[in-house]
Amino acid sequence: MTLTLKVPDIACSACVSAVTDAITSVDSSATVEADPKTKIVNVQTQQSEDKIKQVLADAGYPPA
Ligand SMILES: [Cu+2]
């Protein structure tokens, strides 16, 4: 499934890397695109939306 999440705490490319690593740690086949300007994260994943939101929150980037 494809998720579009707003993650306000993404501020730079290091944040993008952290978010991407967090998601791929639970779904190695996930595709993550995150934009520090819009704070939008697009995720293609086999995991549930709840799982991805939980992972992001645990990584310090809670979705809005
Ligand atoms: Cu950053």
**Structural domain count, the chain:** 1
C-alpha 2 to ligand 1 mean position (Å): 23
Residue 39 lies in a domain: yes
For residue 1, give the nearest of 42, 32, 39, 44 by alpha carbon: 44
C-alpha 60 to ligand 1 mean position (Å): 11
Residue 26 lies in a domain: yes
Residue 63 lies in a domain: no
Residue 64 lies in a domain: no
C-alpha 59 to ligand 1 mean position (Å): 12
Instruction: Supply the range of the domain harboring residue 25.
Output: 2-58
Q: Are 30 and 47 in contact (CB under 8 A)?
A: yes
pLDDT of residue 61: 98
Domain of 10: which CATH number?
3.30.70.100
pLDDT of residue 7: 98
Residue 42 lies in a domain: yes
pLDDT of residue 30: 98
Q: Are 19 and 10 in contact (CB under 8 A)?
A: yes
C-alpha 4 to ligand 1 mean position (Å): 19
Q: End-to-end alpha-carbon separation of the chain, Å?
A: 19
Count of all residues that appear for the chain in the document = 64
pLDDT in tens, 2-60: 999 999 999 999 999 999 999 999 999 999 999 999 999 999 999 999 999 999 999 99
